[in-house]
Amino acid sequence: MPFANYNKKGVSLHMKKALSLVLLVSGICAFAYGSYLSYEVAPKEQKLSEAEQNIQEQRRPVLGPIRRNARAQAMQSKESAINSGEQTIAKAHVSINWLRGTGIILFIIGSGCLIFCSVKKK
């Protein structure tokens, strides 16, 4: 019987298993990449918090208008760099959370399909 591996809709059971394996592996890869990105972002967060502490320590009074203006410009450029770094890290956290969540969902769907496709119906 040439159509023994096909169900009523015409989709091969082997195709379902292959699709479920693809979903399973892509879920694992997405979760692993999200974890990798979180380990890459952690040192940058630490550097950013150290820079913020450094700026807080440098807020002491300065005598003279020229020094005051120079320090204000330097502090302003440092604060803008810190703000852009915070925005970059926030975007990275959104990507990390999305990758991990999507990876978990794909893994669950793929493993569920794999389990249900391998069960033989009587």
4 lies in some domain: no
pTM: 0.72
Q: Which residue range forms the structural domain that includes residue 71? A: 13-118
Asked if the model's pLDDT at residue 63 lies above 80, the reply is: no
31-40: average pLDDT: 94
Mean pLDDT for 45-72 is 78
59 in any annotated domain: yes
Are the beta carbons of 18 and 26 closer than 8 angstroms? no
Q: Is residue 48 part of a domain?
A: yes
Q: What tokens were used for 78?
A: 């440092």
Q: Is residue 8 part of a domain?
A: no
> Rounded to the nearest 5°, which phi and psi values hold at 62?
-120, 135
Task: Tell me how many domains the chain contains.
Answer: 1
Q: Which residue has the higher pLDDT, 65 or 32?
A: 32
Question: Which long-range contacts does 112-120 make (Cβ < 8 Å, 24+ apart)?
Answer: 112/20, 113/16, 113/19, 113/20, 113/23, 114/17, 114/20, 114/21, 114/24, 117/13, 117/16, 117/17, 117/20, 118/17
